[in-house]
Amino acid sequence: MLQVNDIRENKEKYIQALAKRGIDATTTFEEVLNIDEERRSSQAQLDEVLAQSNSYSKEIGKLFQTGETQRANELKEKTVELKESSKQLNEQMLTAAEKLQQLLYTLPNIPNDLVPAGTDENDNEEVYKEGEIPKLIEGALPHWELAKKYDIIDFELGVKITGAGFPVYKGKGARLQRALISYFLDKNTKAGYTEYQVPHLVNEASGYGTGQLPDKEGQMYHVGIDDLYLIPTAEVPVTNMFRGNLLNHVDLPVTCTGYTPCFRREAGSYGAHVRGLNRLHQFDKVEIVRIEHPDNSYVALDGMVEHVKDILRELKLPYRILRLCGGDLGFTAALTYDFEVFSTAQDRWLEISSVSNFETFQANRLKLRFKDTDGKNKLVHTLNGSALALPRVLAGILENYQTADGIKIPEVLVPYCGFDFID
């Protein structure tokens, strides 16, 4: 959530920055500032009324002590009027504050200067590419056919149990899935991230805290009777562990990792590009989250990018990194790098990680601050990244490592799997 003071001080700059997202925020910013002025005016009047009421209360006590009963009773009548005025002003102030907050919830984060202008994924900038695209055997299969051939993932059984987008992993497919989770967690903890196991359901405050609500409400599964949401990513519960906290500058950075299943409705997703593991309603993901001093957050972002690079190098998967343009940038992000692995059998790039800096956007919603060296309380910067999302990594492994006789297992995963070949 943007801060009103920042909007007031940087209005024109922010308008230009949000234009990268294809948003004209001029009218909304004017409304924000007008409502905030109403709130501030009501607050100033309320403060005056309360000060006057307190002054009268002190004077009434003195008047009764000196026997000036008539004057004391006159002032008592005025305090009654002031009490009614204060009630009305307080209601006005609270109404304005609520209107202001709801309006601020509709505004996305301000893109970083590095974010290119653009309308959709076609305008993203490729900033890095690594790995050779393998030459597959003649008649190479996409992963959903390989999964059926080797009986390691059953998509139809998932439909029977739940519906489309809920696959069942079997035998070596399940073991490979578990191996990837353990490998990712081990890589993250060795890099200094503390592992957490967190709830897979969150309350509404958590959804608002990290920015999924109200923006992504239609994409989240909602348990209405309990008013809880199934998590779309571990970022939500992990980051919300620190909601409302005041940290000390010496405690920064805070680094966390966690594995969770993730649940997304993915409404409106159809076509060949969502076949198999390409887009699911339930999938596994290992996440990394950082809480950083604002002065260090972009150095930390670069470090997270290098960390994901290292994982993909060990898996020996060809990948590229994209800097997302304004039109493709997530609602809460100031800057995002997407990692995509090349699926040789499908002849297309598959997104397998997003690494983002949210700057103070989430922290303002979370009321997550730190006490700096100057003794002042300031908002932290929050960051998160997938390290990694499993479905498309698994798809890339199955397709890129296939042979005429079966599927090889990446060398780094063999100790985790207990086997080196699927046949």
Select from 181, 185, 183, 147 the least CA-distant residue to 167.
147
**Tokens 């989250």 sit on residue:** 289
Q: Cβ–Cβ contacts within 10 Å for residue 151, how many? A: 12
Q: Is 84 annotated as belonging to a binding site?
A: no
Q: Which residues pair with 389 in a beta bridge?
A: 285
Encoding tokens for residue 193? 């991230």
Q: Is 161 annotated as belonging to a binding site?
A: no
The Cα 380–Cα 254 span in angstroms is 10
Residue 347: partners with Cβ closer than 8 Å, 6 or more residues away: none
Q: Is 59 annotated as belonging to a binding site?
A: no
Cis omega before residue 294 (within 30°)? no
Q: Is 53 annotated as belonging to a binding site?
A: no
SS3 category, 348? strand
Encoding tokens for residue 157? 């059984």
Strands 228-230 and 335-343, by their bridges, are unpaired
The Cα 390–Cα 217 span in angstroms is 24
Contact 136/403 with Cβ under 8 angstroms?
A: no
Q: Is 132 annotated as belonging to a binding site?
A: no
Contact 17/335 with Cβ under 8 angstroms?
A: no
Q: Is 156 annotated as belonging to a binding site?
A: no
Q: Is 182 annotated as belonging to a binding site?
A: no
Q: Is 422 annotated as belonging to a binding site?
A: no
The Cα 35–Cα 243 span in angstroms is 26
Q: Is 74 annotated as belonging to a binding site?
A: no
The Cα 17–Cα 111 span in angstroms is 6
Amino acid letter, 277? L
Q: Is 265 annotated as belonging to a binding site?
A: yes
**Angle, helices 11-18/26-65, rounded to nearest 10 degrees:** 140
**Binding annotation:** 233, 264-266, 287, 351-354, 384
Annotated binding-site residue numbers for L-serine: 233, 264, 287, 384
Binding residues for ATP: 264-266, 351-354
